[in-house]
Amino acid sequence: MTNKIAKWEGIPRKEIDWFPTIDYKICIGCMACLKKCRQCVYAAKNGKPKVVKPKNCVVGCTGCQKVCPVGAISHPPRTYLEKLSNRKDFKIGCQCRGKER
Ligand code: SF4
Ligand code: SF4
């Protein structure tokens, strides 16, 4: 599945820096993140996940971060999105069942 959402809170998705970052010093290559994500954000490269389509990531989703067994994945803080949207009750619309932080 790919992410068809072009805007979030009226802001073009391409202008929003929301996507996972992997700490490869910690990652054990279990691929739980790749299996969790339904947006094709990840691809497997040399036994490790790689973020290949960062702008496919659903804004506000942290689903892959929550399933990582070693805490190797991070996202920007929620305050980043609060500042962008000027709202604290912004919607996430995640389809991968990741919960809002
Ligand atoms: S946060 Fe959600 S949409 Fe983004 S890469 Fe992780 S599982 Fe996929
Ligand atoms: S879930 Fe975590 S440990 Fe497993 S491959 Fe992804 S980043 Fe690495």
Percent of the chain with pLDDT over 90: 71
Residue 99 confidence (pLDDT): 47
Predicted confidence (pLDDT) at residue 71 exceeds the cutoff of 60:
yes
The larger pLDDT score, comparing residue 88 to residue 95, is at 88
Residue 91 confidence (pLDDT): 74
Give the domain ranges of the chain.
7-85
The model's pLDDT over 29-67, given as tens digits with 9 standing for 90+, comes to 999 999 999 999 999 999 999 999 999 999 999 999 999
Query: Which CATH number is 7-85 given?
Result: 3.30.70.20
Measure 59 CA to ligand 1 centroid, in angstroms: 8
Rounded to 5 degrees, what are φ and ψ at 65?
-60, -40
User: Which residues have any ligand 2 atom within 6 Å of their CB?
Assistant: 22, 27-33, 49, 68-70, 72-73
**Cα separation values, 60 from 9, 24, 48, 69, 88, Å:** 11, 22, 24, 20, 12
Residue to substitute in 42, 57, 68 for testing ligand 1 pocket (most ligand atoms within 8 angstroms of CB) = 57
Give which of 74, 44, 72, 70 is closest to 57, Cα–Cα. Answer: 74
